[in-house]
Amino acid sequence: MTAEVVPTAAALVIGNEILSGKVQDTNSRDLALLLRKLGVRLEQVLVIPDDRARIAAAVAHLAKSYDWVFTSGGVGPTHDDVTIEAVAEAFGVRAVTDEETAQLIRRHYGARCTEGHLRMALVPEGAALETTESVRWPTVRMGNTFVLPGIPEVFRMKLAVVEHVVGRHRPFVSHAVYTKMDEGDLKPLLDAVVAAHPEVDVGSYPTWTDPRFRTKLTFDGLEESAVVAAKERFLASLPAGEPQWTDP
């Protein structure tokens, strides 16, 4: 991976509770925000049920297709927690008990420790167990695939480990312009910017609810000078007197 190549990532969210609408997934957005900060391009989010065969097939495919894969959910002691076994299957290894994690669990639960609790020490054979100074409980990483828990508070806590292991790459630069013009009128202006700045990702997002503006335009890229040039070109093309504001 050279400095010129943007690392890519996929998120695999595992959970019947999300597909049935019982729970709003927020983990993939928290991950998206972190990856953006790290300069890693999140190229896909896939939400599937707690189904071992489907998880294994998805992990096998994603781990080959992207630099990093992050699973969320299906980690725990109960029958519906099948992610560890599925990741093991995807990598063609067994799920085995990690003795160090088992010790941590025995120490934590003491006399109350059950076979159920000890299931949380299962890891794909050969997995790395990542820790940081602040996050001491081991985080399972099998090759390029992080196995993260579904509980949002715990997922967020583990992102510090992701940041530590993945590291910071060249960050994305993002500028925004807000205008009261609608997309139909903006189209020729945007087409001109897109044609002149193919290296800048130009986004156009209408709002139906914010009274302050009608369309938000975003200019994203790796080269700050190119992003700024595209934004300035767009601003210069707006009709005189058209209200707009920018961020930054």
Which residues here bind a second copy, judged by CB under 8 A?
A: 13, 16-26, 28-30, 32-33, 35-36, 41-50, 76-81, 109, 112-117, 119-120, 151, 153-154, 172, 174, 183-188, 190-191, 194, 201-209, 218, 220
Write the secondary structure of the chain as one string of H (helix), E (strand) and C (coil).
Answer: CCCCCCCEEEEEEECHHHHCCCCCCCHHHHHHHHHHHHCCEEEEEEEECCCHHHHHHHHHHHHHHCCEEEEECCCCCCCCCCHHHHHHHHCCCCEEECHHHHHHHHHHHHHHCCHHHHHHHEEECCCEEECCCCCCCCEEEECCEEEECCCHHHHHHHHHHHHHHHCCCCCCEEEEEEECCCHHHHHHHHHHHHHHCCCCEEEEEECCCCCCCCEEEEEEECCHHHHHHHHHHHHHHCCCCCCEEEEC
Q: Which is nearer to a second copy, 16 or 93 (CB)?
A: 16
CB of 88 to a second copy, least distance (A): 20
Distance CA 61, CA 46 (A): 12
160: exposed, middle or buried (Cβ count in 10 Å: 0-12, 13-18, 19+): middle
Cα separation values, 212 from 182, 206, 209, 243, Å? 13, 12, 9, 10
Q: Which is nearer to a second copy, 30 or 93 (CB)?
A: 30
Distance CA 83, CA 72 (A): 9
Q: Which is nearer to a second copy, 92 or 239 (CB)?
A: 239
CB of 93 to a second copy, least distance (A): 24
Q: Which is nearer to a second copy, 154 or 238 (CB)?
A: 154
CB of 139 to a second copy, least distance (A): 16
Q: Which is nearer to a second copy, 100 or 182 (CB)?
A: 182
CB of 126 to a second copy, least distance (A): 26
CB of 117 to a second copy, least distance (A): 4
Q: Which is nearer to a second copy, 45 or 88 (CB)?
A: 45
CB of 207 to a second copy, least distance (A): 7
Q: Which is nearer to a second copy, 2 or 209 (CB)?
A: 209
CB of 235 to a second copy, least distance (A): 17
